[in-house]
Copies of this chain bind each other. A is one copy, B any other.
Amino acid sequence: MNSFTEENYLKAIYHLGGAGNIAVNTNSIAELTNTKAASVTDMLKKLADKGLINYIKYQGVTLTEKGKGTAINIVRKHRLWEVFLVEKLGFKWDEVHDIAEELEHINSEQLIDRLDTFLGNPKADPHGDPIPDRDGIFHKKELIKLADLIAKQEGKISGVNEHSAAFLQYLEKAGLTLGTTIVVKEALEYDGSVNLLIGKKEITVSSKVAKNLLIQL
């Protein structure tokens, strides 16, 4: 059994890419967990002792298979709870993160499996992020940044790369919600902004927005 705190560190390492080969560095973990580098170092020793991470002093960390499994399970729980909050309780997609952050630490495999069934085994959370199955497998569709599309390409808004409430609220106002079909009218080389058609309505989004909106072709 891992503590609440250990779980949060594992999750942070996972989100920083620790499931791959490139080592995650101490400072970035400190930033994401709102702690100081010294605290991170202490915890890294502990997680390494438990066999959850590969840690070499001064060289950063990666997750072991065991650590990766634990982290993915937390991600699974987080995303399933987000679906519950939006689909069943009527929260907006920009309101659910903090509550899911607490719910993800509830410890019961049975609870999560039943929740998964109750929700109809959703494949993505309200932001389009994929939900791993109980074996930790992601059944993901290929998503492309809006910024990488060219004129005349058509696709469906299927995810976001940024989860701030501000960005999500902007998308909502602009009618750029998940599932919406869009066509690229013009991709402006000058500033990276993109002209889109949503049905017959034309709108322009900035480069920043285009980089954070994910499209399924």
Contact = CB atoms under 8 A, between A and B. Distances in A.
Interface of A: 85, 88-91, 98-99, 102-103, 106-108, 110-111, 114-115, 118
Contacts of A99: 106, 108, 111
Contacts of A115: 89
A89 B102 contact: no
Nearest to A88: B118
Nearest to A90: B114
How many monomers of this protein are in the complex? 2
A118 B89 contact: yes
A91 B106 contact: no
Given A89-B118, A102-B107, A103-B103, 5 more contacts: A88-B118, A89-B114, A91-B114, A99-B108, A99-B111
The SS class assigned to the A binding surface is: helix
A123 to B, nearest CB: 20
A102 B106 CA distance: 6
Contacts of A89: 111, 114-115, 118
A121 to B, nearest CB: 14
Contacts of A118: 88-89
Contacts of A85: 111
Contacts of A103: 103, 106
A83 to B, nearest CB: 14
Nearest to A89: B114
Contacts of A111: 85, 89, 99
Contacts of A102: 106-108
Contacts of A114: 89-91
